[in-house]
């Protein structure tokens, strides 16, 4: 099936995503089971190098293949620029430039790729994709900014500017990670939607001040997503970075991102719980004051077809367990997840569990543990 046929099949929602970065609403309603999974799609991973070659390329290909197997998309990996023809590119929803370097496409291949993106295809550049095609002005616009320099690999704090994107919704307000951190020749902010920036005060060698490192933007009728992370082999085994990759691929392919996180304090029924103010929480509030035996119900969230539950939690108390149930606080148990003591009420972590036997019904969360305050729940996602 050609890309055009896929796009026509997906209808207006797909075409709208081709024009703008999709925003997730803070209080998303869970979708019916048929809508939970993104439609199958196809991704071309291109890793040709005409300059420095990253030893992380095989790890990156493996990570994307694994994500594809887990999330219903196919991955074709190539270093052959002859794949860049109008006919061949029409079979893919997105093309990933994985640590490409230098001049990797000739003039006819550039023309085919430009037409592909501007007609509705997706581009996803990883790390050294910004060190690519310096003499092709269109590519500079597509990637957002060209590489200038980098300091030594080191740990830094990054700021999650935009939690409304599927690539960053899983991250806290700050994220500490180790990678090779690019400086760019220009600041892309005026022309892109910045998702993540570097805090230059937390490492040595940054020279931009305002320092975007991950961003997206519409390109013609298509989409562009770029992240400067991904130099190290270890990056591709990090769960948080792999989730960022998944969100970037889905955005580039124009695919639905899945259900939005639900604010836990947006319950429609409850026993024993209260809303609690927390500066570090999404929206500034959590579901709090949770004691053993308390519960919260969410009539706006249907459990039909759900296979995974994740929640952002904190605990300066006893910790405990969240039971996921359907229909009522004593309804069928779909799964349980342990909530650890996180060392403070402002110290948030994410916990998750698989669900089984999910039938239709409103979502209910029941809480158990020791004596006294157990934990707070900031937001959760049912998939």
How far apart CA 371 and CA 40 sit, in angstroms, is 47
E-only strand ranges, 266-375 = 269-271, 274-277, 285-288, 295-302, 308-315, 320-326, 333-339, 344-354, 362-368
Q: Return the pLDDT at 295.
A: 98
Would you say 42 and 91 are in contact if contact means Cβ atoms under 8 Å apart? Answer: yes
β 41-46/94-98 pair status: parallel
In sequence order, what are the residues at sequence separation of 6 or more whose Cβ sits closer than 8 angstroms to the Cβ of residue 87?
none
Averaged over 3-10, what is the pLDDT? 39
pTM of the model: 0.64
Q: Return the pLDDT at 112.
A: 98
Q: Return the pLDDT at 181.
A: 97
Averaged over 363-376, what is the pLDDT? 95
Q: Return the pLDDT at 357.
A: 75
Averaged over 294-305, what is the pLDDT? 91
Residue owning tokens 């108390």: 317
Averaged over 143-168, what is the pLDDT? 93
How far apart CA 57 and CA 59 sit, in angstroms, is 5
Rounded-to-10 torsion of CA 70, 99, 169, 21: -100
In sequence order, what are the residues at sequence separation of 6 or more whose Cβ sits closer than 8 angstroms to the Cβ of residue 169?
24, 163, 247, 257, 260, 261
Given pLDDT bands bounded at 50, 70 and 90, which one contains residue 40? confident
Q: Is the pLDDT of residue 316 over 90?
A: yes
Q: 260-283, pLDDT tens digit by residue?
A: 678 899 899 999 999 999 888 877
How far apart CA 350 and CA 364 sit, in angstroms, is 19
pLDDT > 90 fraction of the chain, expressed in percent and rounded: 69
In CATH, the number for domain 262-382 is 2.60.120.260
Longest dimension (CA), the chain: 69
> In terms of pLDDT, which residue wins out, 358 or 369?
369
Q: What are the extents of the domains in the chain?
A: 3-253, 262-382
Mean pLDDT of the chain: 87
Q: Which tokens go with 43?
A: 């991704």
Would you say 275 and 376 are in contact if contact means Cβ atoms under 8 Å apart? Answer: no
How far apart CA 156 and CA 179 sit, in angstroms, is 8
Q: Residue 203: how many CB atoms within 10 A of its CB?
A: 17
Given pLDDT bands bounded at 50, 70 and 90, which one contains residue 256? low
Q: At what angle do helices 57-71 and 239-253 cross, to 10 degrees?
A: 70
Q: Return the pLDDT at 23.
A: 36
Q: Is the pLDDT of residue 197 over 80?
A: yes
Q: Return the pLDDT at 305.
A: 83
Backbone angles phi, psi at 222, to 5 degrees: -105, -160
Q: CA-CA distances (angstroms) from residue 338 to 222, 262, 321?
A: 42, 19, 4
β 295-302/333-339 pair status: unpaired
Q: Reduce the DSSP state of residue 85 to 3 states and report it.
A: coil
In sequence order, what are the residues at sequence separation of 6 or more whose Cβ sits closer than 8 angstroms to the Cβ of residue 112?
84, 85, 86, 89
Task: Single out the residue of 131, 140, 109 nearest to residue 50, CA to CA.
Answer: 131
Task: Single out the residue of 313, 292, 295 nearest to residue 374, CA to CA.
Answer: 292
Q: Tell me which H or E stretch contains 243.
A: helix 239-253
Q: Is the pLDDT of residue 358 over 70?
A: no
C-alpha Rg value of the chain to the nearest Å: 22
Given pLDDT bands bounded at 50, 70 and 90, which one contains residue 352? confident
Give, in words, the CATH class of 3-253. Answer: alpha beta
In sequence order, what are the residues at sequence separation of 6 or more whose Cβ sits closer than 8 angstroms to the Cβ of residue 323?
333, 335, 336, 365, 366, 367, 368
The highest-confidence range among 104-108, 163-167, 189-193, 304-308, by mean pLDDT, is 104-108
pLDDT-wise least confident of 40-49, 119-128, 304-313, 320-329: 304-313
Q: How far apart are the first and last CA of the chain?
A: 27
Averaged over 244-265, what is the pLDDT? 84
> In terms of pLDDT, which residue wins out, 5 or 86?
86
How far apart CA 297 and CA 307 sit, in angstroms, is 18
How far apart CA 335 and CA 355 sit, in angstroms, is 5
Given pLDDT bands bounded at 50, 70 and 90, which one contains residue 9? very low
**Residue 32: DSSP 8-state:** P
Task: Single out the residue of 288, 117, 88 nearest to residue 217, CA to CA.
Answer: 117
Given pLDDT bands bounded at 50, 70 and 90, which one contains residue 43? very high
Q: Where are the alpha helices (DSSP H) in the chain?
A: 3-10, 12-17, 33-36, 57-71, 86-89, 107-118, 137-143, 239-253
Residue owning tokens 């060190």: 131
């Amino acid at each position: 099936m050609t890309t055009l046929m896929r796009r026509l099949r997906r209808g207006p929602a797909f075409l709208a995503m081709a024009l703008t970065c999709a925003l997730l609403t803070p209080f998303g309603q869970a979708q019916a089971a048929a809508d939970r999974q993104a439609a199958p799609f196809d991704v071309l991973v291109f890793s040709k190098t005409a300059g420095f070659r990253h030893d992380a390329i095989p790890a990156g290909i493996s990570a994307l293949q694994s994500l594809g197997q887990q999330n219903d998309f196919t991955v074709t990996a190539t270093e052959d620029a002859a794949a860049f023809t109008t006919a061949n590119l029409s079979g893919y929803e997105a093309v990933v430039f994985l640590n490409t370097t230098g001049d990797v496409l000739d003039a006819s291949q550039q023309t085919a790729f430009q037409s592909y993106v501007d007609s509705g295809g997706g581009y996803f550049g990883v790390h050294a994709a910004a060190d690519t095609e310096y003499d092709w002005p269109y590519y500079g616009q597509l990637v957002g900014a060209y590489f200038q320099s980098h300091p030594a690999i080191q740990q830094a704090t990054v700021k999650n500017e935009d939690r409304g994107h599927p690539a960053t919704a899983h991250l806290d307000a700050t994220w500490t990670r180790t990678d090779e951190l690019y400086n760019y020749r220009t600041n892309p902010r005026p022309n892109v939607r910045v998702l993540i920036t570097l805090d230059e005060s937390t490492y040595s060698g940054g020279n931009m001040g305002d320092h975007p490192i991950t961003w997206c933007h519409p390109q013609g009728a298509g989409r562009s997503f770029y992240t400067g992370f991904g130099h190290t082999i270890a990056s591709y085994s990090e769960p948080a970075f792999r989730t960022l990759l998944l969100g970037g691929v889905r955005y580039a392919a124009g695919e639905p991102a899945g259900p939005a996180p639900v604010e836990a304090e947006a319950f429609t029924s409850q026993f024993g719980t209260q809303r609690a103010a927390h500066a570090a929480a999404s929206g500034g509030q959590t579901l709090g004051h949770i004691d053993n035996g308390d519960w919260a119900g969410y009539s706006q969230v249907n459990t039909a077809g759900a296979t995974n539950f994740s929640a952002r939690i904190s605990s300066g108390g006893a910790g405990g367990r969240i039971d996921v149930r359907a229909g009522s606080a004593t309804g069928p148990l779909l799964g349980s997840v342990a909530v650890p003591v996180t060392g403070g009420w402002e110290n948030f972590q994410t916990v998750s569990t698989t669900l089984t036997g999910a039938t239709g019904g409103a979502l209910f969360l029941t809480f158990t543990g020791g004596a006294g305050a157990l934990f707070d729940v900031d937001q959760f996602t049912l998939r």
